[in-house]
Structure 1
């Protein structure tokens, strides 16, 4: 995936709405802030060294990096244009935050075992990647390997109360929190533009 041509990436600001568009699709919008912050706060309850996959608008990255408990937070982003847009809006970053470039499905095999307390997972992926059972079967054991005992894996929120099959077989204990949300009227990637969102936290025993 890292060698494929980069899609068109732009930050669209219109009528008070902020959208990160990747390949013509809505990758992330600013209305997600409270849900991203809540996810970040849950992550930070479980240690001090964290890893994030997918920078997006940087809402969770900045929240995690600024948490008093955080010693280090590394964000892996596939697209340089996304990082450039983020740095243009946030030129002064916390010292705890570092941003790396790379493809997670390759990089995860290089990460040291039991090196982080928590991983926040919110990359922009094509649907064929989400449906690739072999890919997830190879990848998720590596995620578990990288987590310290008691560490957590938190994927981006869902607007359906379903545990994601990609992660479920690899964890015995899962915590789910329900939070209300209101998206933009133009939002295309949620099940409805208001309702309940579900934050799932998977624990490594």
Structure 2
């Protein structure tokens, strides 16, 4: 994935809407705040040391880092431009927050076993990555390896009430919470611009 030419990345603010655009696609929008905060708060119920894949607008990163339970929170971001945009808006960061650069599908193999209590997963990925069964079959056992017993893996919310096939074979227990949402009229990556969103929390035994 890092061998591909870097996409154009920009922060678009228009008519009260805030959109992080990567390669001309809506990667994240500011209306997601309450859902990202709910996901972050759930993650922080399970320990003190956390890892996040994909910085985006930094909504969840700042929420996790600012939680009283958090001892350390590391965010892995692939694109330097995304980090630059975030730091321009947030020049002073919590001491608990560290931002690293790298490709998760390589980095996960380097992370120490049982080193974190929870991982929040919200990277901007192409559809060919999401549908690559062999890639997920290689990757998810590594995610489980990195989690401490009782730790959790929380991917970004879904606006469909269905468990994600990429993750379900690797966990026995799954916690799901339903939250209402209202997106922008321009939002293209949800199933409808309002309704219910589902936060899925996969627990390691």
TM-score (norm 2): 1.00
Give CA deviations for 1:149-175 in whole Å, capped at 9, x if unaligned: 000000000000010000000000000
Matched residue, 2:50: 50
Give CA deviations for 1:44-80 in whole Å, capped at 9, x if unaligned: 0000000000000000000000000000000000000
Q: What CA distance in whole angstroms lies between the structure 1 residues aligned with 2:3 and 2:117? A: 30
Q: What CA distance in whole angstroms lies between the structure 2 residues aligned with 1:133 and 1:109? A: 18
Structure 1 stretches of 4+ moved >6 Å:
none
Aligned residues: 205
Give CA deviations for 1:25-62 in whole Å, capped at 9, x if unaligned: 00000000000000000000000000000000000000
Residue 66 of structure 2 is aligned to residue 66 of structure 1: yes
Alpha-carbon shift at residue 3 of structure 1 (Å): 2.4
Matched residue, 1:8: 8
TM-score (norm 1): 1.00
Q: What CA distance in whole angstroms lies between the structure 1 residues aligned with 2:29 and 2:109? A: 30
Q: What CA distance in whole angstroms lies between the structure 2 residues aligned with 1:134 and 1:8? A: 28
- SS in structure 1 of the partner of residue 185 of structure 2: coil
Residue 98 of structure 2 is aligned to residue 84 of structure 1: no
Q: What CA distance in whole angstroms lies between the structure 1 residues aligned with 2:162 and 2:6? A: 31
Matched residue, 1:150: 150
- SS in structure 2 of the partner of residue 109 of structure 1: coil
Give CA deviations for 1:84-117 in whole Å, capped at 9, x if unaligned: 0000000000000000000000000000000000
Unaligned 5+ runs, structure 1: none
- SS in structure 2 of the partner of residue 137 of structure 1: helix
Q: What are the equivalent positions in structure 2 for 1:1-205 lying under 5 Å apart?
A: 1-205=1-205
Alpha-carbon shift at residue 4 of structure 1 (Å): 1.7
Q: What CA distance in whole angstroms lies between the structure 1 residues aligned with 2:128 and 2:111? A: 25
Q: What CA distance in whole angstroms lies between the structure 1 residues aligned with 2:2 and 2:181? A: 33
Unaligned 5+ runs, structure 2: none
